[in-house]
């Protein structure tokens, strides 16, 4: 289990930007030894830190925070529990923020590729912030609460650069008369309740709203156990579930209330990584970065149809050209033999020529085989293509496979 935790930390090491790199670089060599952080006092802690410790959480440095990688159960068991019952993830290290004002949509559409104006009120979408080269600054979920209010969640390790990016463009936008303000929700915690039994567990604490009618990507402001919450039907596991933004002073109360149900367990970063990889979901810093465009990442679908008329966002002309002419590399799924492939493992063709590199890899608790994600030359990207992965000097067989590896179960109409 120690080796599994080491490998998971290695795969997570680049997720979320430079802070994560600093905190986790030495993890693979000794897990918690020789941290770049002087000691735990240098790490931020969520409101639930003491609760995690009391529940047996193994705390590790991640993106500048002290976070649980697992609890008393194994990473394998915890992954399977989420697939069959319900699990709680403390994701309060992530950054929630709100843009308000009559020009909120216009402002944000200059920075992301999605059709935010086209969203119905109370719905959201996955999108990406792009730079002038079309590269991905961060991936984010954007919710249109109303025409003049947007709720956004960005990755923990990208927080500082995202806020600086937003702030820089916000100042310029407002200087030209734009009306929009930004509020960062540092006064709120974020919990994810995921799994097929999540809706039944949560419905017990919600009155006046039938959660069966709140569909995937829908957003509501409502009371849960009398606590005012932002509820989004989304998550990072491929399972049905919810993300709940809660006032800090009520986070423990709500977490304990949900945990009182025997179907629910706490879940850490380790199982979360297995779950998202099985679902074919990208991890920023591993599978996405500022040199990869949404077209190369297989995220062309995030570029809204209306946005393709003008491509009036940062890097739009480059992305327009890539959609029209194609790209030389593509993100693919892989199933391999031998030891699990890890980030940076070389992918080669039958003649031994390097054709790509693994960005994420692990043993799948659900499929009981090795799965990975990576980028390969376009000619090698077709499902069924036979390749090899160099894992510590051994050339293991690999097959390009469609994603998700495990079927998703999002609650849709």
Residue numbers of the chain with a pLDDT score lower than 70: 1-39
Q: Quote the CA–CA distance of 16 and 122 in Å, as a whole number.
A: 27
Distances (CA, A) of 277 to 187, 189, 237, 270, 370: 31, 25, 8, 11, 11
DSSP, collapsed to helix, strand or coil, labels residue 118 as coil
pLDDT of residue 41: 81
Q: What is the pLDDT of residues 305-318, one digit of tens each?
A: 999 999 999 999 99
Residue (of 404, 141, 134, 158) closest to 296 by Cα position: 134
DSSP, collapsed to helix, strand or coil, labels residue 295 as coil
Q: Quote the CA–CA distance of 50 and 48 in Å, as a whole number.
A: 6
Which pTM value belongs to this model?
0.92
pLDDT of residue 352: 96
Torsion angles phi and psi, residue 24, rounded to 5:
-115, 0
Q: Quote the CA–CA distance of 277 and 372 in Å, as a whole number.
A: 8
Distances (CA, A) of 344 to 26, 287, 358: 16, 11, 5
Check: CB of residue 371 under 8 Å from CB of residue 273: no
Pairing of strands 329-336, 369-377: antiparallel
pLDDT of residue 22: 28
pLDDT of residue 11: 52
Name, in order, each residue with C-beta under 8 angstroms of 30's C-beta and a sequence gap of 6 or more.
none
Number of helices (H) and strands (E) in the chain: give both, helices first: 11, 19
């Amino acid at each position: 289990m120690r080796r599994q935790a080491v490998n998971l930390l290695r795969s997570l090491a680049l997720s979320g930007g430079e802070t994560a790199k600093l905190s986790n670089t030495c993890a693979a060599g000794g897990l918690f030894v020789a941290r770049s952080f002087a000691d735990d006092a240098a790490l931020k802690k969520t409101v639930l830190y003491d609760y995690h410790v009391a529940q047996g959480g193994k705390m590790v440095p991640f993106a500048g925070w002290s976070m649980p990688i697992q609890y008393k159960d194994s990473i394998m068991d915890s992954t399977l529990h989420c697939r069959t019952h319900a699990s709680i993830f403390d994701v309060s290290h992530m950054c929630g923020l709100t843009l308000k004002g009559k020009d909120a949509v216009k402002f944000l559409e200059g920075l992301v590729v999605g059709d935010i104006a086209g969203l119905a009120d109370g719905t959201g979408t996955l999108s990406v912030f792009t730079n002038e080269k079309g590269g991905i600054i961060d991936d984010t979920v954007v919710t249109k609460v109303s025409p003049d209010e947007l709720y956004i969640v960005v990755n923990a390790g990208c927080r500082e650069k995202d806020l600086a990016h937003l702030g820089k463009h916000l100042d310029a936008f407002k200087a030209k008369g734009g009306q929009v303000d930004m509020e960062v929700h540092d006064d709120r915690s974020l919990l994810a309740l995921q799994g097929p039994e999540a809706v039944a567990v949560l419905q017990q604490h919600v009155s006046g709203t039938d959660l069966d009618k709140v569909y995937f990507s829908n957003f509501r402001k409502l009371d849960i156990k009398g606590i005012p919450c932002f509820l989004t039907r989304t998550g990072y596991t491929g399972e049905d579930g919810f993300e709940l933004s809660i006032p800090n002073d009520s986070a423990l109360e709500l977490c304990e209330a949900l945990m009182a149900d025997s179907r629910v367990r706490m879940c850490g970063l380790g199982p979360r990584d297995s779950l998202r990889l099985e679902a074919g979901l990208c991890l920023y810093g591993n599978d996405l970065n500022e040199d990869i465009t949404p077209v190369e990442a297989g995220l062309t679908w995030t570029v809204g149809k209306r946005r393709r008329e003008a491509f009036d966002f940062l890097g739009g002309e480059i992305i327009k050209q890539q959609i029209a002419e194609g790209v030389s590399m593509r993100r693919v799924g892989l199933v391999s033999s031998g030891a699990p492939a890890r980030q940076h493992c070389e992918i080669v063709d039958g003649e031994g020529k390097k054709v790509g590199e693994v960005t994420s890899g692990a043993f799948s608790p659900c499929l009981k085989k090795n799965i990975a994600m990576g980028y390969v030359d376009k000619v090698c990207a077709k499902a069924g293509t036979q390749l090899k992965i160099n894992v510590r000097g051994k050339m293991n067989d690999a097959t390009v496979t469609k994603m998700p590896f495990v079927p998703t179960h999002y609650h849709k109409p």
